Chains A and B, each alone.
Chain A
């Protein structure tokens, strides 16, 4: 398990340069296409953002809070996938695991080790909570990569609630475990006394900005990736015989998006662990 973590850590920096170039190219392409769409609505019928529209599963009525929508469907599929892996996959309870069981154990060990290493042993009661977040985000991201699917985690409403849940948990746990000593998080005792009020303001702002960056990072990554995929797919449709170039692009970006899906789930989870560490051990 430790070697797996080390491997994934080693792989990331090596593959960082190319994805950034890809993303920049892709964003340029999106802007270019959006500009084209304004002028020539009829020529390029590409609507890269339509895949994110929330619509009712049955009929065309208004979307009330209780209406079963495509959000409901894809979240249900996400739950089913998690149940399939973590419950049905481990049904054998074998000493020598099957393939499904070893994947479930791998995820379990990976997240547990992350919670233990980053947030400390006393954060282990939060392990099921962190794992639930990780599994939900991971499977939502990966299911969103199925063509014609709907990516629930590309919506800021979803990621904002996820981030707000983490923020509230961390804040409440911080005050319950440490009382007012939790405010010591904002009072940097290692800095000179004169600087401390200034730092306190900065720390306070950064504390409240956390859920914003936490949620927008996830939604933004997925939204951009899926929009880019759709744009390239639209190119392929519009270019006729020359479509091999955008199709190659779609394949390449799809690979990148698989990576982004896993990494964003990982990033969300590890940041949750970091915030939990702050709540449990507020002294720097």
Chain B
């Protein structure tokens, strides 16, 4: 192909190429090159400015929009997650506070019940103690009476044994009462 081009170029340009002129300085081809260049440049310019560039610009704008939308959505979701975490923490704190309240309430209830029971028990104990005291007093009184009877008998027996006459009951009773007082 290069050879044929060379030959045809030679034929077209006569002796110019043969005399050593480079093809770039063959001015007879300039109008041709310039004409086709201008046509090509106009076509390239029209294709780019009418079709390609608006399309690429639109695609880039779309992508930018999609990216910023995604970022906004992500931020919204993050905010939601934070809100959920806050709500959870709040619920946790509430539950804890409620639990404390219940504990305190229960504790005071138990304390009240305990105090109540203690008071009841105290009353019962006091009643029982009184009863017991009464019984003790009764027993003591019984004992004293028995002692008197025993003492009367014993004294009478002792006096009789010592050789005396049996003292009469009246004297005996008075003497023993006298001694028991002391």
> Which A residues are CB-close (under 8 A) to B44?
78-79, 82, 132, 135-136
Chain B 22-43 residues near chain A, CB threshold 8 A: 22-26, 28-41, 43
> Which A residues are CB-close (under 8 A) to B36?
69, 71-72, 75
> Which A residues are CB-close (under 8 A) to B5?
50-51, 53, 55, 70
| Contact between chains at B6 and A75 (CB < 8 Å) | no
Stretch at the interface among A19-27, A92-100, A206-214: A92-100
A65 touches B (CB below 8 Å):
yes
Main DSSP-derived SS at the B contact region:
helix
The range of chain B's interface size is 35 or more
Chain A 148-164 residues near chain B, CB threshold 8 A: 148, 152, 154-158, 161-162
B129 touches A (CB below 8 Å):
no
Cα-based distance from A109 to B57 in the complex (angstroms): 10
Q: Closest Cβ of chain A: how far from B14's Cβ, in Å? A: 10
Chain B 103-127 residues near chain A, CB threshold 8 A: none
Stretch at the interface among A83-91, A180-188, A191-199, A254-262: A83-91
> Which A residues are CB-close (under 8 A) to B74?
none
Partner of B33, one of A51, A148, A152: A152
| Contact between chains at B6 and A53 (CB < 8 Å) | yes
Q: Closest Cβ of chain B: how far from A269's Cβ, in Å? A: 13
The verdict on A78 contacting B40 (CB below 8 Å), with A54-B29, A65-B35 known, is yes
Chain A 127-180 residues near chain B, CB threshold 8 A: 127-129, 131-133, 135-136, 148, 152, 154-158, 161-162, 165
| Contact between chains at B11 and A95 (CB < 8 Å) | no
A101 touches B (CB below 8 Å):
yes
Q: Which residue of B lies closest to A230 (CB)?
A: B2
| Contact between chains at A131 and B53 (CB < 8 Å) | yes
B131 touches A (CB below 8 Å):
no
Q: Which residue of A lies closest to B57 (CB)?
A: A108
The verdict on A71 contacting B33 (CB below 8 Å), with A53-B17, A76-B40 known, is yes
| Contact between chains at A55 and B8 (CB < 8 Å) | yes
> Which A residues are CB-close (under 8 A) to B53?
108, 127-128, 131
B51 touches A (CB below 8 Å):
yes
Stretch at the interface among B60-68, B76-84, B146-154, B169-177: B60-68
Q: Closest Cβ of chain A: how far from B19's Cβ, in Å? A: 12
| Contact between chains at B55 and A93 (CB < 8 Å) | yes
> Which B residues are CB-close (under 8 A) to A47?
2, 6
> Which A residues are CB-close (under 8 A) to B9?
50, 53-55
A114 touches B (CB below 8 Å):
no
A42 touches B (CB below 8 Å):
no
Q: Give the top 10 A-B pairs by smallest Cβ distance, nearest first.
A: A53-B9, A65-B31, A86-B52, A128-B49, A54-B29, A52-B23, A75-B40, A50-B6, A132-B45, A157-B33
User: Interface of B with A (CB < 8 Å)?
Assistant: 1-3, 5-6, 8-9, 11-12, 17, 22-26, 28-41, 43-45, 47-49, 51-53, 55-60, 62-63, 66
Besides A55-B5, A87-B51, A128-B49, 19 other A-B contacts (C-beta < 8 A): A47-B6, A51-B5, A66-B32, A69-B32, A75-B40, A79-B44, A79-B47, A82-B44, A82-B47, A86-B48, A93-B59, A128-B45, A132-B41, A135-B44, A136-B40, A148-B2, A154-B24, A156-B24, A161-B34
Query: What are 22 A-B pairs at a CB distance below 8 A?
Result: A54-B33, A55-B5, A55-B12, A60-B8, A62-B28, A66-B35, A67-B32, A69-B32, A71-B32, A71-B33, A75-B37, A86-B47, A86-B48, A90-B52, A90-B55, A101-B59, A108-B60, A109-B60, A132-B49, A152-B37, A156-B25, A219-B24
